[in-house]
Amino acid sequence: MTPIEIEITALKKEVINMWILVQSQLNKSKEAMVRFDKDLAREVLIKEKRVNAFELKIDRDCEDVLALHCPVAVDLRFLLAALKINTNLERIGDIAASIAAYVVDSSVNFDVAALESTSLLRMYDEAVNIVTDTRTAFEKEDTVLARSMFKRDEVLDDINENAPVAIAALIKEEPNIIHEALFMLSIFRKLERVGDHSKNIAEEIIFYVEAKVLKHLESSKKKLEGEE
């Protein structure tokens, strides 16, 4: 391997490690929410610092490779994509931490039946799966899988769009859980953002592998663009 290939392989590994940590943060926040496990939620908050440290390290490593190796073509695209993926992953990490923070601060636990009836759990599972699959797309440079994220993000958008109706019904049925219900609504919004960040990441994977820019394209064009 050439020196730049060695650097890029190491950097890719680092991004994947950050990804695994962010996935674990999301999963643990969900578990903490469902089981009302404050210790687990506190663990997520502590590990958030590690996510931030990953972000700083990857930024610095990208800067070093840019300065020392003057990358071009696919190497340059990889580094530009890695910088943006890094930012998006850190924000997904922030979302996991903000859900955990609520569990830590809250005095009442969630009603699991309500989490299910409002489709919040389904949305959470789908958001976690999307994060996992974008990681696979990145690892395997699989742009078909990356493209499938655009469609799957729409599933999250649909659930999020229907959330106010579901939450309103919940409050009407049981007005004393209004705080809990409003927090659930904010989780819908946060998970919708996880979908957006994953979509951004999918765009970066396609840019890195195929040199195609799909940003700001209409969703229907995005799905078709560059497909064989």
Contact status, residue 218 vs residue 205, Cβ threshold 8 Å? no
Q: Does 113 bind other proteins (CB under 8 A)?
A: no
The 10 Å Cβ neighbour count of residue 90 is: 20
Q: Does 5 bind other proteins (CB under 8 A)?
A: yes
Q: Does 107 bind other proteins (CB under 8 A)?
A: no
Taking the CA atoms of residue 193, residue 198, residue 203 and residue 209 in that order, the dihedral angle to the nearest 10 degrees is: 160
Q: Which of 19-27, 68-76, 112-120, 159-167 is the region at the interface with other proteins (rule: CB under 8 A)?
A: 68-76
CA dist., res. 28 & res. 43, Å (int):
9
Shortest spacing between CB 124 and other proteins, in angstroms: 37
Q: Does 211 bind other proteins (CB under 8 A)?
A: yes
182 or 211: whose CB is closer to other proteins?
A: 211
Binder to other proteins among 52, 55, 66, 74 (CB under 8 A)? 74
CA dist., res. 104 & res. 114, Å (int):
20
Give helix then strand counts, H and E, for the chain.
8, 0
Q: Does 67 bind other proteins (CB under 8 A)?
A: no
Q: Does 46 bind other proteins (CB under 8 A)?
A: no
Q: Does 10 bind other proteins (CB under 8 A)?
A: no
Residue 177 DSSP class: G
Binder to other proteins among 39, 67, 73, 176 (CB under 8 A)? 73
Q: Which one, of 180, 202, 6, lies nearest residue 14 by Cα?
A: 6
CA dist., res. 26 & res. 92, Å (int):
8
Q: Does 35 bind other proteins (CB under 8 A)?
A: no
Shortest spacing between CB 210 and other proteins, in angstroms: 9
Binding footprint of other proteins on the chain (CB under 8 A): 2, 4-5, 70-77, 211
